[in-house]
Structure 1
């Protein structure tokens, strides 16, 4: 049973990294949102499995929060925002998809080497989860850096936060009050981001962050 528990936890955490790569590959907003919803579902499954093997029922709350908010509510809301704003569905990238994927593989390799060395005396399950979690965080940052569309950068930010949740649950969980506060923080941040997107669209007639650079250049 311990080996099976380790293998399943390893599979779920590794699947989260794989889905992060799927987000890097997407060049359409709707497809990116669908992959993010899948990302949240895999995270919920991983957290629920951690709750089972750690005998930590409060982690089920985290799994439900991830499933309801990140897999359903936020993707649906972003779909509606895209439709209402008439945002261009294609995602403009700062670098090519091929170079982005290579950079992502390099970041995952760096995460594995770094975390497995730093956590040499930790529990093997926690070591693996922390290594995968750092990979998810760095891949989320890469999504934010390489995408010029504000909506895709929001998705990158939320996928980064998924990595932090994976790290916290893999390291023997976190207090319930922290999970609830994180959920409310995500909700408030999403509301602020929604208002921000509407304001950008209203002011610049686009959500491409490159327009902001051009605007600043015109004002000089």
Structure 2
């Protein structure tokens, strides 16, 4: 396979990991949503490149879904939710940004070591992309664990799902019906999450999960 094809695919996947670290670094809500839109844009570009390399036209549909749904619609919806709930402020983290970034680097190193060894006999294009994809998944999970704000945890979940899409397309893609059903499920989940956020705000006057723990008597 042409070296440029491999390098460009790996550059896009690696940039997704970099943007995942940018997500972990953000401490303002609107900045977080802007960076998530950037990650979705990079994902769309990566999937479109995989569609070209693999000669798989159905992956262009996946790229279009990522571009329209995740880079445009979801950030706009979450931005409106943030404005309506009045939560555009600093994002509280567990342990601080610095410690979270260090732990994230450890997770990326672990993902690289495990995945590159487990896929030693795999196709060169898929091998590194799977390692990058696992890194994005783990960083998304880390964001969900270390953020106290429910909206930022939603962004972490969406970032995790972006990593899964990167892994699926790098490993010769998914059937088109699966891609469409996943996109529909994400859209439905976003609607349900929005309803729960408003209900939580009405009930507890906050979307900080720390406040929910205190309401259950689980004070640290």
TM-score between both structures, scaled by the size of structure 1: 0.98
Partner of 2:137: 137
Q: Which residue pairs with 1:86 in the alignment?
A: 86
Report the Cα distance in structure 2 between the residues aligned to 1:68 and 1:215, rounded to whole angstroms.
38
Q: CA deviation at 1:95?
A: 1.1
- CA distance in 2: counterparts of 1:165 and 1:8, whole angstroms: 18
Secondary structure at the counterpart of residue 213 of structure 2: helix
Structure 2: distance between partners of 1:90 and 1:191: 24
Aligned positions of 1:166-185 closer than 5 A: 166-185=166-185
RMSD of aligned Cα (Å): 0.9
Aligned to 2:65: 65
Shift of 1:77: 0.5
Cα-to-partner distance string for 1:123-162 (whole Å, 9 max, x where unaligned): 0110101000000000000100110000000000000000
Match for residue 199 of structure 1? 199
Q: Is the 8 A contact 2:91 2:147 kept in 1?
A: yes
Match of 2:55 in 1: 55
Give me the TM-score of the superposition, normalised by structure 2: 0.98
In structure 1, runs of 5+ residues without a counterpart are: none
Q: 1:168 Cα shift? A: 0.2
Provide, for residues 147-191 of structure 1, a one-character-per-residue CA deviation record: whole Å limited to 9, x for no partner: 000000000000000000000000011100000000100000000
Looking at structure 2, the residues matched to 44 and 88 of structure 1 have their Cα atoms a distance apart, in angstroms, of: 27
Could you tell me which runs of 5 or more consecutive residues in structure 2 were left unpaired when the two chains were aligned: none
- Give the distance between the partners of 1:94 and 1:199, measured in 2 at CA: 24
Query: How big is the shift at 1:73?
Result: 0.3
- The Cα shift of 1:88 comes to 4.4
Mapped to 2, the partners of 1:80 and 1:145 lie a distance apart of 24
Structure 1 segment 5-20 matched on structure 2, within 5 A: 5-20=5-20
Q: CA deviation at 1:2?
A: 1.1
Q: Residues 85 and 201 of structure 2 are in contact (CA less than 8 Å); yes or no, is this contact kept in structure 1?
A: yes
User: How far 1:90 moved relative to its partner?
Assistant: 1.0
Q: In the aligned structure 2, how far is the partner of 1:49 from the partner of 1:202?
A: 44
Query: 1: distance between equivalents of 2:115 and 2:85?
Result: 42
User: Shift in Å at residue 102 of structure 1?
Assistant: 0.4
1:125: which partner in 2? 125
Question: What is the number of equivalent residue pairs in this alignment?
Answer: 218
C-alpha separation between the residues in 2 aligned to 1:108 and 1:94? 19
Q: Which has the larger displacement, 54-63 or 88-97?
A: 88-97
Distance 1:207 1:2 in 2: 49
Partner secondary structure for residue 217 of structure 1: coil
- The corresponding residue for 1:39 is 39
List 4+ stretches of structure 1 deviating above 4 A.
Answer: none
